[in-house]
C-alpha cells in the first residue's frame, strides 16, 4: 500500500503490520479503550516475555494490511480502539494466557478475535486456548507419563536384588557373630 495519502508514520505502521501478519502464527485483536498508559506498558512487557509483540494500530491501516495478505476478517473487529498482539512461536497458549490474565485484572481489555495460522478465530476460541496448558507443561506431562513405567519397572526389578543383598548381609552378620 503505497499511496501519497499515507504519512511516513502510517506507512511504517502499515509495513510493520504486513510483515507481522506474514510471519506470525498468531494474531489477536483486542479493544483497549479505558486502559491507562501504565497498564498498556505493563501488558506489552508481559507479551514480550511470552515471545510476542504488540502494537496499537489504526483500524483502517490494519484492515488494509490484512487485505494485502488476502485475509478476510469480519468488519466488527475493526471498530473502536484496536490493540494487536503478534506471535511467531508455536506456543499459542503463552500470549493468550497473558491476555486472559490481564483481562481478569483489568476488565477494560476486550478480546475481539484473531488468527491462528492465518485462519480466523473468534474471542470465545481464544479464551478456550488460554485455558489450555502451555506447550512446555504438556511436554513435561508427557515426559512424566513416559518416565513413570520405567521407574516402576526399575523398582520391581531391583526389589529381589535388594532383598537378596539384605538376606546375604544378615547371614554374613550371623556367621560373624557365631565366630
Going residue by residue through the chain (179 aa), what tens digit of pLDDT does each one get? Answer: 554 577 888 899 999 999 998 888 889 999 988 888 999 999 999 999 988 899 998 889 999 999 998 888 888 888 888 899 999 876 677 888 899 889 888 888 899 999 988 889 998 988 888 888 877 888 888 888 888 887 887 878 878 888 888 888 888 888 888 87
What pTM was computed for the model? 0.71
Give the long-range contacts of residues 108-112, CB within 8 A, separation 24 or more.
108/32, 108/33, 108/34, 108/35, 109/30, 109/31, 109/32, 109/35, 109/43, 109/83, 110/30, 110/31, 111/28, 111/29, 111/30, 112/29, 112/30, 112/31, 112/76, 112/77, 112/82
pLDDT at 1: 54
Top CATH class of 8-132 equals: alpha beta
The domain limits of the chain are 8-132, 133-179
Amino acid at each position: 500500500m503505497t499511496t501519497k495519502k499515507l504519512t511516513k508514520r502510517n506507512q511504517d505502521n502499515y509495513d510493520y503490520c504486513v510483515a507481522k501478519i506474514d510471519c506470525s502464527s498468531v494474531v489477536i485483536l483486542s479493544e483497549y479503550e479505558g486502559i491507562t498508559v501504565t497498564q498498556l506498558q505493563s501488558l506489552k512487557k508481559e507479551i514480550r516475555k511470552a515471545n510476542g509483540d504488540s502494537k496499537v494500530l489504526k483500524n483502517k491501516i490494519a484492515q488494509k494490511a490484512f487485505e494485502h495478505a488476502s485475509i478476510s476478517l469480519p468488519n466488527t473487529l475493526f471498530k473502536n480502539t484496536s490493540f494487536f498482539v503478534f506471535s511467531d512461536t508455536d506456543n499459542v497458549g503463552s500470549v493468550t494466557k497473558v491476555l486472559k490474565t490481564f483481562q481478569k485484572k483489568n476488565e477494560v481489555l476486550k478480546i475481539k478475535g484473531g488468527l491462528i495460522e492465518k485462519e480466523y478465530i473468534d474471542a470465545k476460541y481464544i479464551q478456550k486456548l488460554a485455558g489450555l496448558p502451555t506447550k512446555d507443561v504438556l511436554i513435561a506431562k508427557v515426559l512424566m507419563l513416559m518416565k513413570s513405567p520405567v521407574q516402576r519397572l526399575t523398582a520391581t526389578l531391583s526389589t529381589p536384588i535388594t532383598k537378596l543383598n539384605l538376606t546375604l548381609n544378615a547371614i554374613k552378620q550371623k556367621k560373624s557373630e557365631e565366630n
